Amino acid sequence: MRSTMNYRHLGRSGVKVSPLCLGTMNFGPHTTEPDSFAIMDKALEVGINFFDTADVYGWKRGEGYTEQIVGKWFAQGGTRRERVIVATKVFGDMDLPDKPDPNMARGLSAAKIIRACENSLRRLQTDRIDLYQMHHVDRACPFDEIWQAFETLVAQGKVIYAGSSNFAGWDIATANQTALRRSFLGLVSEQSIYNLENRMIELEVVPACRHYGLGIIPWSPLAGGLLGGALTKQAQGRRSNEKFQERVNAKRKKLEAFEGLCKEIGESPANVALAWLLHNPVVTAPIIGPRTMDQLTSMLKVPEITLSTETMSRIDAIWPGPGGEAPKAYAW
- pLDDT, one tens digit per residue, over 105-134 is 999 999 999 999 999 999 999 999 999 999
Q: Please work out, in degrees rounded to the nearest 5, the angle formed at the alpha carbon of residue 113 by the alpha carbons of 110 and 115.
A: 105
Res. 241: pLDDT tops 90: no
Q: 8-318: what CATH class?
A: alpha beta
| pLDDT band, very low/low/confident/very high, at 239 (cuts 50, 70, 90) | low
Decide if pLDDT at 220 tops 60: yes
Entry pTM:
0.95
pLDDT reading at 2 higher than 50: no
CB 9 within 8 A of CB 15: yes
Cα separation, 281 vs 11, in Å, equals 10
End-to-end CA separation in angstroms for the chain: 55
Catalytic residue among 7, 57, 161, 330: 57
Instruction: Give the C-alpha separation, 170 to 200, whole Å.
Output: 14
Position 283 confidence tier, pLDDT thresholds 50, 70, 90: very high
Per-residue model confidence (pLDDT) at position 235: 58
In this prediction, residues 22-42 reach a mean pLDDT of 97
> Which whole number is the average pLDDT over 305-325?
97
* Mean pLDDT over the full length of the chain: 95
Please say whether the beta carbons of 258 and 191 come within 8 A: no
**In this predicted structure, what is the pLDDT of residue 145?**
98
| pLDDT for residue 4 is more than 80 | no
Report domain extents, the chain.
Answer: 8-318
pLDDT band at 200 (very low <50, low <70, confident <90, very high): very high
DSSP character string of 209-274: HHHHTPEE--BSTTGGGTTTTHHHHTTSGGGGSHHHHHHHHHTHHHHHHHHHHHHHHT--HHHHHH
Mean pLDDT of 130-151: 98
Q: How far is CA 104 from CA 143, 144, 325, in A?
A: 18, 19, 37
Give the neighbor-by-neighbor strand order of the sheet with 159-165: 215-216, 187-191, 159-165, 129-134, 85-90, 50-52, 21-23, 287-288
Residues making up the chain, counted from first to last: 332
Which of 215, 171, 206, 228 is CA-nearest to residue 18? Answer: 215
Residue 332 has pLDDT above 60, yes or no: yes
| DSSP structure class, residue 201 | G
How far is it, in rounded angstroms, from Cα 172 to Cα 116?
A: 22
Give yes or no for residue 19 having a pLDDT over 70: yes
Of residues 269 and 244, the one with the higher pLDDT is 269
Q: Does residue 34 register a pLDDT over 80? A: yes
> Distance (Å, rounded) from C-alpha 6 to C-alpha 284?
11
Query: Quick check: is 161 catalytic?
Result: no
Confidence of residue 168 (pLDDT cuts 50, 70, 90): very high
